[in-house]
Structure 1
Amino acid sequence: MSEVVARGRDWAAALPSIRAVGAAEMRAALPTARRVVVLDDDPTGTQTVRGVPVLTRWEADDIAWAFAQGGPGFFVLTNTRSLSEADAAARNREVASRCLDIAADLGVDLVFASRGDSTLRGHFPLETDVLAAVSAEHGQPIDAVLLAPAYLDAGRVTVDGIHWVRGDDGLRPVAHGEFARDATFGYRSSRLADWVEEKSGGRIPAASVVSVGIDAIRSESAELRAGALVEALRAAHNCQVVVIDAIVDDDLRAATLAVLAAESAGRRVLYRVGPSFVRARLGQGTQPPLSDEELSAIVGTSPVHGLVVVGSHVGVTTRQVERLAADRDLARVELDVARIVEGDAEAHIAEVVAHALVHLDHRLVVITTSRTLRTGADAEASLDISRRVSAALSTTVRRIVADRRPRFVVAKGGITSSDIATVALDIHRAWVRGSLLPGIVSLWQATSGTAEGLAYIVFAGNVGGDSSLAEVVNRLERA
């Protein structure tokens, strides 16, 4: 057993008792709380919730529609993880400004959640910097940036200010895994205060980051008139970063109640969080997957088979695709990245579309990008390659769906899921109906456009076990 995994097991044996905080207690605090707008840097932040609106564009009428649906909040898919820093900053500014303007017109007080990856990839602190600047310009200066990247359903937890991920051999600090070697968003630090300093280039020193540990969160007073997190947020100023530990949902609900207490006292908090905090902040508990009856009502009885689209290159995705192929008769079609980047992309896309259409009436079709990851000379060049390949994949799917609407579409990978939703399927407004596996893999249903009513499954590249993709497809095919 490695030292890092051993340490993960050591602290697990010495934790304080959980302070039980139910979802009902959380919901009771929401009627007087600010409405939360979740700016999601890819679509996978929705996989822990159900019954929540999601927008993939941010025209004034779209945002007004989302506010009109009621409830404690909604998602706006910004897909900024696929963008350059400059474009990500511009998109955050545009979305935040429009949301604040519409909220002011409606008399709504809102708070922003910048939903980032639970394995710490993404544009941080750039996105929170932009959101804080826009908020200040609208007369709402930010006091604290709450950093809570935990994704409990996928085994990503924070203890003693260190972020951990679960693998086959147990828990290990996040910087010891493949995610930290990401070509665009790589990093060296697992302690979140050090990670903040690293990602900010030293502008935010680790010493300025306040870390509120699991002992403090589990001992927060029930009345929330005192406690380490409440006091940290009340004392914070000028976007001070506050890190919280979290191991179970009760921890996040306890922390969220403390956040609401600080906000009710006038503090302005900006959230940089993983999917589990969003679930707590929206007042939802751990949700069971959609039932077979619910799936049947959504999927319908089309004779055309389903379409699975795979863009993610992380190891677990590759293994999931191989397991899926071993379990059934399917047509596997590959989009060759070399031909997209260096050859005749249009001719190759036409070939892939034709091949897929031949098979879609008879069997499941799986479209993958070639499995050898192609990177550029630097982070920006790598992002450019990713964008070009994703654009080709979206064009391919758009042409397939226009010719033959599949029974369902599964998109594997965060950026892939966003581009397929917005470019290939033209989804502008949708509802998150729920998950297909416990806490992971969300099903969206569009409310308008060419994909209206289609079962669209958002499956992050970095979650699930080797058999999870096969399990999802099995459920959809049975439905």
Structure 2
Amino acid sequence: MSRTTPPAHPAPGARHEPPGPVAVDDLLAGLPAPRQVSADQVASATAGGPCLVVLDDDPTGTQTVADIPVLTTWRVDDLRWALRQPANAFFVLTNTRSLSSVDAAARNREVAGALAEAAAAEGVSYVLASRSDSTLRGHYPLETDVLAEEEARHGRPVDGVVISPAYLQAGRLTVGSVHWMRTPAGMIPVASSEFAEDATFGYRNSDLRAWVAEKTAGRVPAAQVLAITLADLRTGGPEHVAELLGTLRGGRPAVVDAVDDTDLRVLALALVRAEAAGTRLVYRVGPSFVRARSGQAEQPPLTPERLRGIGDPERAGRHGLVAVGSHVGLTTRQLAGLRELGGIAEFELDVPTLLDPAARAGHIAELARAAAAAMADTDVVLRTSRTLVTGDDPDASLSIARAVSSALVAAVAATVRDTRPAWVVAKGGITSSDIATDSLGIRRAIARGTLLPGIVSLWEPVAGPFTGTPYVVFAGNVGDDDSLARVVTTLRSR
């Protein structure tokens, strides 16, 4: 049920939550008309400029782009490979949303240091985006703080942090600095969603200014956060927004409205102008920003014909594997839709058993053998049990999540070792990251596009034992109840 009243104990800088649900037309009524800015204009403005390097805290940030390199490691040689690719952007999968704050900070430092070395060796410049969840879960402000420190250490002190969590394709919009999400009942402020109750990254504010104050524990009061509104973007345009960005000093945050792709393209042009004038920025963003800043237009989902051109279908198996680690209610409903589609054999990893050291290994091995045998004749779903087990505090909950995820990774690795799949779908952010790196050994890939409009990314691995095997990154919090079934239907037609 949506929460439409303020929290009982407001966080520092908290504001009254707006009501919800509301119809999207009512939410957007009276706004200025979008400013017409094309993807080609952004591509032209960014051509030859700094490369956009996206540190993604789980793999799902690729779901709005096409033909963009993806790294799951940050070795200097891999980063140099990505910097040499024709695209003006690439992703580095850090998977920090699954880590403790201490480990997340260390990983950001590792990536930033290796990237500085790689860029110096290639003689190129770059700008940093910390890509995180469009429902505001993740290590903020930790990650942008660390990246700002690393930039300063390399002689590039950061003036501001641009926060743009919008994910337009999934209905995550920012209006008047308030972040909203689409639901079947209408638009609700994001703090009223199930995602705001996250055991590790929960929050109480939908107004991004108040959210910044909450997450920084009052270090940055809401009144000190720069708000870039739809009026600024649509009426003022890139020059005006660039002037606003140019006022940022000392790492001051700026939160940005977005309802339409053109809003983010205006922002992208403004960023180019501000940075060319000497303003140094780090971005904390959702998936839609990456497409806009990369100068890419929305592309239709991949067709079965296009899928047949990926990899070598003759080398692949006849059936695919769906691995499910996400526990959100939407994923559970999508699993039910896949069952209705049929043609699957389903195997469950029981979470309480996985947390029992004496029973864990045997349980994993038994299910992997059964799943591998079944995949010779049918598509297979390998999933964790649907009951979410949490700890007494956020770090304990993360530890449990990692233990469960590592068990799923081990089961998938054992399954595909015995029977090569025709394709792999990984459901859930942590799940997608761990299976890519630990089960399939993917180090370098190209995000080829999406299987549904604006969501669900398909990677083509370009190195490692599963080179060419279509790998589908499916976030736990996107799509509708039949989306998983639709994705599997498309993959079966390959």
**TM-score computed with the length of structure 2 as normaliser:** 0.94
1:446 equivalenced with 2:458 (yes/no): no
Task: Answer whether contact 1:311 1:368 (CA < 8 A) is retained.
Answer: yes
Correspondent of 1:322 among 329, 336, 339:
336
Secondary structure (helix, strand or coil) at the match of 2:219 reads coil
Post-superposition offset of 1:198: 0.5
Q: CA deviation at 1:95?
A: 0.1
Match of 1:184? 200
Matched position secondary structure for 1:33: coil
Provide, for residues 328-383 of structure 1, a one-character-per-residue CA deviation record: whole Å limited to 9, x for no partner: 13111000000000251100001111110221011110011000001011100000
The SS at the match of 2:62 is helix
Poorly superposed stretches of 4+, deviation over 6 Å: none
* Residue 338 (structure 1) aligns with: 352
- Which residue of 1 is the match for residue 12 of structure 2? none
Q: What is the CA-CA distance between 1:10 and the residue it aligns to?
A: 2.8
User: 2: distance between equivalents of 1:262 and 1:345?
Assistant: 54
Question: For 2:372 and 2:44, how far apart are their aligned partners in 1?
Answer: 51
Q: 1:150 aligns with which of 149, 159, 166?
A: 166
Letter of the 1:393 partner, please give it.
Answer: L
Identity %: 53
Give, in whole Å, the separation in 2 of the partners of 1:303 and 1:452: 14
1:413 aligns with 2:428: yes
Matched, 1:305 2:319: yes
What one-letter code is carried by the residue in structure 2 that aligns with 1:56? T
Query: Is it true that 1:233 corresponds to 2:245 in the alignment?
Result: yes
Letter in 1 for 2:478: V
Quick one: distance in 2 between partners of 1:317 and 1:154? 15
The structural deviation recorded for 1:304 is 2.8
Structure 1 residue 69 displacement after superposition: 0.9
The superposition leaves residues 394-420 of structure 1 with CA deviations (integer Å, 9 ceiling, x where unpaired) of 011111111111000000000000000
Paired position in structure 2 for 1:388: 403
Residues 244-283 of structure 1 aligned to structure 2 (within 5 Å):
244-283=256-295
Offset of 1:220 from its aligned partner?
2.8
Report the counterpart of residue 288 of structure 1 in structure 2. Answer: 300
CA distance in 2, matches of 1:268, 1:93: 18
8 Å Cα contact 2:334-2:485 kept in structure 1? yes
Whether the aligned pair in 2 keeps the contact of 1:289 and 1:436 (CA below 8 Å) is yes
Structure 1 residue matching 2:410: 3-state secondary structure: helix
- Residue 15 of structure 2 is matched in structure 1 by none
- SS of 1:219's equivalent in the other structure is helix
* CA positional deviation for 1:320: 0.3
The one-letter code matched in structure 2 to 1:6 is: V
Q: Does 1:49 align with 2:65?
A: yes
Using the TM superposition, give the Cα deviation of residue 233 of structure 1 relative to its aligned residue in structure 2, in angstroms: 1.1
> How many angstroms does 1:464 deviate by?
0.2
1:103 matched to which residue of 2? 119
Structure 1 Cα separation of the partners of residues 224 and 405 of structure 2: 39
Distance of 2:103 and 2:60 partners within structure 1 = 20
Picking from 225, 228, 240, the partner of 1:209 is 225
Output the aligned Cα RMSD: 1.3
- The more displaced of 185-194 and 298-307 is 298-307
Q: Which runs of 5+ in 1 are unaligned?
A: none
Query: Are 1:59 and 2:75 counterparts?
Result: yes
**Alignment deviations for residues 202-237 of structure 1 (CA, whole Å, 9 cap, x no partner):** 11111110001101100134xx4x31x212211110
Q: Secondary structure at the match of 1:338?
A: helix
1:437 corresponds to: 452
Contact 1:304 1:404 in 2 (8 A): no
2:10 counterpart residue number:
none
Whether the 8 Å contact between 2:69 and 2:87 is mirrored in structure 1 is no
Of residues 352, 359, 370 in structure 1, which corresponds to 2:374? 359
CA–CA separation in structure 2 for the residues paired with 1:432 and 1:7: 34
